[in-house]
Amino acid sequence: MTLPPEQVFYVSPDQIQTWRDSAQAVVVDVREDNEWQEAHIPGAILMPLSTFDPAKIPNLGSKHLVFHCRSGRRCGLAAEKAVAAGYKGVIKRMEGGFLAWSAAGYDSEPG
């Protein structure tokens, strides 16, 4: 499936942190529970790709929806599932995933 570029696109960890600082983002972690338990972004919502249900995407209000995984691949698969299920909002994918987040020195916490 080709994702519509106006609906799904990459955003840098720096931009996501800026949105988090001003409470403008809902971060959805699509990694699996064992990865979440090792470390995750504080305030993120766990929705593992293996059980991902687009109907459970939280109500965002005016906030940005950000999907992330370990390196950036699985968040694309989650975005595909959401779009295929009829999700009409804009989805941001964290460029480089949690690896890039950690490399940038941003906060994380164990599960």
Instruction: Look up the domain containing 28 and give its range.
Output: 8-103
Query: Does residue 63 fall inside a structural domain?
Result: yes
91 is a domain residue: yes
Beta-carbon contacts of residue 18 (< 8 Å; ≥ 6 apart) = none
In this predicted structure, the answer to whether residue 53 has a pLDDT above a threshold of 90 is: yes
Asked whether residue 18 is domain-assigned, the answer is yes
Average pLDDT over residues 80-97: 96
Q: Taking the model in full, what pTM does it have?
A: 0.95
The residues, ordered by sequence, that sit 6+ positions from 21 with a Cβ below 8 Å of its Cβ are none
The CATH number given to whatever domain includes residue 50 is 3.40.250.10
Mean pLDDT of 41-50: 97
pLDDT in tens, 27-39: 999 999 999 999 9
Query: Is 3 among the domain residues?
Result: no
109 occurs within a structural domain = no
Where does the pLDDT of residue 3 fall: very low under 50, low under 70, confident under 90, or very high at 90 and above? confident
Number of domains present in the structure of the chain: 1
d(CA 55, CA 103): 32
Q: Is residue 38 part of a domain?
A: yes
**Domain for residue 2, yes or no?**
no
Distance in angstroms (rounded) separating the CA atoms of residues 110 and 84: 32
Domain-embedded: residue 57? yes
